[in-house]
Structure 1
Amino acid sequence: MESITFYGITLSGQIYFIAFICLAVLVFYTYTSLKKKGKSFNSDASSLSSSLILTTPHTICDSINCIRCSRNHEILQLALTRLSYLSESDKYTKNDLKYLSKDIEKSLACIKEKEKSLPSKKHDSSQHSTPAVFQMFGLKDQELWSIKDFPALQILNQHLYDITCEFQHLYDHFLTDETVWKVNSTNKGRWEIAHLINQGHTTKVAEMCPVTYQILKKIPYFLDNNLFGDASYSVVHSGTDISTHCGSTNIRLRCHFGLIVPPNECYLKVGEKICHWKENQVLCFNDAYAHSVHHNGQKASGMRVVFMFDIWHPDVTESQKQILNYAFSS
């Protein structure tokens, strides 16, 4: 085939030249697109890495309503806004408003700082409480608490049979109902939970377990009408390890009332202290400490079941409770 010269380039050469230019443009476009996606991926990976600082793998959830995993910034900012509306009065003392507002500001700053830190620094201390969301300063800091400090909890001992029966009915007849029972992720094994109260909100499980719910309401220390207050049946199966994690706040203490406990098979580690559940006994601890749960029994040993709920830290005054219930109202 005869070639035609055009501006010093043969026609066949011109075609190759145009093809080369098009290829170069395509390569450049592909490179820049991938580079942008790479930046986005790195940014997403960085965000995920930061979230691991606040929560261990089993506590990371996809719930947009979780105050620890998704809404920690939001609820602290909202609390500050709410407190700014409160006028100084006899009901709310100037010092309480001032110091609680500062504690919320410090907690928000702490979360932001942790998100910039290395993931390896999470839970680097078991010597003090490290709440994942809100820390109130000045409260007595200890892992385990004696139930002698909370005599009203004895009402649970009087109703072990009732509470256990309502749990058993709920477990036997509604285990496959995902609106009743949730399966929490764990390192290994299986952990199931049914909330009567979830982040301050009463659920339909409370209606299904009316006796248990009414008993709970009679406990004067119960952390009610507050985002940080929960109550649930917690079931841990044999071979389960719930990895080390910290609760949302130190204004509460977490109580486990033993319903079904395989002897010598399960334990709770809070900070550096190890304790064991017993049936018809309340175990009270500060879940703002790094803690973990372990069920080392065989399948035949059965599951560990506790009724789990939150009470106010005894150092929080009545005035402070009112302010905190307003700031973190559910």
Structure 2
Amino acid sequence: MIWVLAGGVLLLWYFIVRYYLKGTSSSYILSNLCPSPDCVSCSGSLKSLYSSDVGPKLKKMYGKYDSLAVHKIEERLTFDMSAMTEKRRPTVCYLRDMCSDPWHNHKQKYLQDTLLDSYSAIKSEVANIISEQELWSVSDMQSGGSWQKLFLHNQGRKIERNCKGMPRTTALIEGLDTFMSGVIFGNAYISILNEQSVIEPHCGPTNLRVRCHMGLQIPQGDCSLTVNGKQEHWANQECIMFDDSFLHSSSNNTDSQRIVLIVDLWHPNLTIAEIKIFGELFAVRH
């Protein structure tokens, strides 16, 4: 009798995992913390570290910054995502009542033009450094394939060794006035999604940023980015900009590598005062 009951429980669990969890949004599955203690998006301890002292820090800012701006941030910034849908559930923090548009391709055009003017220089530096495998981090996808990244800035920290190998690209990025320099949400890196590879649906850490993907080597065929259910296709010398607090995924179902430059920028709906405040709140801790 015990064995029959045990078998029934195992069978029930199989159907829950096989059909119910598979049918739910992948963001539910991917919201589980990853093992890395250094990942701002996934580490519970890092999230607690930054969220615990936001209140006291904001109190001290009333005499330093515009009081109304500080007050509005106090009212709108939350670390509790329990009431949010799985289509938009940032893993660290959320600023309420800011922007509900996931796509920003037609905004911040001057930044895109600045990047695109240096397309040849960036691509040349990538070609020179692509064979230095010790500089690249590699992630194997659960669904197969792999993803390679070469960080110039990783969660607000400048990776000096990599930047020396791409000096013109580094100078360009650091010259952008809305690049999230020195902030835990700020990254700049070369991303290579290898052939027949898929990055599963997930949400970024916050809606304080817009992520820019600049196409450097885009294969012909089924190579796309999906944000909030809408699919876009890359092209060489083209920038795709989106709010990655929305559920998003990437796929490269071709036989060639997809190479893009990824840069995190302050959200265009933030004021200059708000950017200064958030820059201090979420500055990298050394």
TM-score (norm 1): 0.72
2:157 is equivalent to residue 182 of structure 1: no
Deviations 1:61-118 (A, max 9, x none): 33212112111222111333322322335xx1222212323334x32x33xx48xxxx
| 2:155 corresponding residue in structure 1 | 199
Pair 260,60 (structure 1): closer, same or farther in 2 beyond 3 Å:
farther
The CA RMSD over aligned residues, in Å, is 2.3
Q: Give the length in aligned residue pairs.
A: 256
Letter in 2 for 1:159: S
Q: Does 1:143 align with 2:143?
A: no
1:328 alignment counterpart: 282
Q: Distance in 2 between matches of 1:78 and 1:233?
A: 33
Aligned equivalents of 1:276, 1:99: Cα separation in 2 = 37
Q: Distance in 1 between matches of 2:107 and 2:245?
A: 21
Greater C-alpha Rg: 1
Q: 1 CA distance for matches of 2:116 and 2:217? A: 14
Give a deviation string over 1:253-298, Cα, whole Å, max 9, x none. Answer: 0000000000222001101110011101111111110000111113
Deviation readout 1:232-256 (Å, 9 max, x if unpaired): 0000011111110000111110000
Once the two structures are TM-superposed, the CA of residue 58 in structure 1 deviates from its matched residue by: 9.6
Q: Where does residue 57 of structure 2 map in the other structure?
A: 82
Distance 2:26 2:54 in 1: 23
Q: Is the 1:254–1:285 Cα contact (8 Å) retained in structure 2? A: yes
Q: Which runs of 5+ in 2 are unaligned?
A: 1-24
| Aligned residue number for residue 9 of structure 2 | none
The correspondence for 1:286, drawn from 229, 243, 265, is: 243
Stretches of structure 1 lacking an aligned partner (at least 5 in a row)? 1-51, 115-122
Asked whether the 8 Å contact 1:253–1:311 carries over to 2, the reply is yes
SS at match of 1:225: coil
Q: Which has the higher helix share?
A: 1
2:74 aligned partner: 101
TM-score, normalised via structure 2 length: 0.82
Q: Is the 8 A contact 2:27 2:247 kept in 1?
A: no
Deviation at 1:143, TM superposition (A): 1.5
- Partner of 1:243, secondary structure, is strand
Cα distance in 1 between the residues matched to 2:57 and 2:177: 25
Task: State the percentage of identical aligned residues.
Answer: 24
- Quick one: which amino acid aligns to residue 226 of structure 2? K
- Select 2:175's aligned residue among 198, 208, 218: 218
**Does 54-63 or 239-248 show the bigger shift?**
54-63
